[in-house]
Homo-oligomer: A and B are copies of this chain.
C-alpha cells in the first residue's frame, strides 16, 4: 500500500522537530555535551524515539551540519542575488556579510550550531562534511575575487587569509552576542564598516 500523504507529512514534521531540537541542543551544549535525551525531550518524545528517525547520534549531527551550511549558503546567495544590477562588488560583499550575520544571530539555529560544533564532531563526520563547507567558502572566495578584479579592494592582501578573518569575525558573534543593547542588523553594520572601510579615519 502507498503511504498516505497525510501520514508521511506528519512523519516529516516530527523529523524536522527533532532536527530543530538537535540544532538548539548541540549549539548550547556542544557535541559531546549534548544528550540524546535532551534532544528527544525538546522534541516531545522519549530517547529511543530518536532512533526511528536517525540511526545514531553521529548521523543526527551530520544532518544538522548539512542543513546548516545549505541554509546559510542559500540565504547569503539569495541576498546577494537580490541586489540591483548596478551594485558594486563591494556592495555585494556587504550584502553577504549582513546575510551571514543575520543567519548566525537571528534566523539560523542550524547555522550557529554548525559554527559552534564543527570543531568538536568526530573526525569522520567532519571529513564527510568538509565538501559542503568548502562549497560555501567558494561563495566568499568568488565575492572577494570579483571585488579585486574590479579594482575595488586593495591588491596587497592575501584573499585566502582575509576570507577566514572575515568569517571569523562574523562566526564569533555566535559566542558573545545576546539580543539587547544592539540588534543583529546593527552588529552587521559595524562589521561591514570595519571590514570594508577599516577603523582608521579617512
Give the B-binding residues of A (Cβ under 8 A): 29-33, 90, 93, 116, 118-120, 147, 151-154, 156-158, 160-162, 164-173, 175-177, 181-182, 186-187, 190-191, 193-202
Q: Which residues of B contact A196 (CB under 8 A)?
A: 198-200
Q: Which residues of B contact A182 (CB under 8 A)?
A: 158, 161
Q: Which residues of B contact A147 (CB under 8 A)?
A: 199
Q: A173–B29 Cα gap in the complex (Å)?
A: 22
**Which of A119, A167, A181, A182 has the most chain B CB atoms closer than 10 A to its own CB?**
A119
Q: A29–B167 Cα gap in the complex (Å)?
A: 22
Q: A147–B158 Cα gap in the complex (Å)?
A: 26
Least distance between A202 CB and chain B CB atoms (Å): 7
Q: Which residues of B contact A171 (CB under 8 A)?
A: 168, 172
Partner of A154, one of B151, B187, B201: B201
Least distance between A182 CB and chain B CB atoms (Å): 6
Q: Which residues of B contact A170 (CB under 8 A)?
A: 168
Decide if B172 touches A164 in the complex (CB within 8 Å): yes
Decide if B120 touches A120 in the complex (CB within 8 Å): yes
Q: A161–B147 Cα gap in the complex (Å)?
A: 26
Partner of A32, one of B32, B167, B172: B32
- The closest CB in chain B to the CB of A155 belongs to B201
- The closest CB in chain B to the CB of A151 belongs to B201
Decide if B152 touches A164 in the complex (CB within 8 Å): no
Q: Which residues of B contact A156 (CB under 8 A)?
A: 193
Partner of A168, one of B33, B152, B172: B172
The 15 listed contacts between A and B (C-beta, < 8 Å) are A29-B120, A30-B30, A30-B120, A31-B33, A153-B199, A154-B199, A164-B172, A164-B176, A164-B177, A165-B187, A166-B169, A168-B169, A168-B171, A168-B172, A169-B169
- The closest CB in chain B to the CB of A117 belongs to B30
Q: Which residues of B contact A29 (CB under 8 A)?
A: 120
Decide if B31 touches A153 in the complex (CB within 8 Å): no
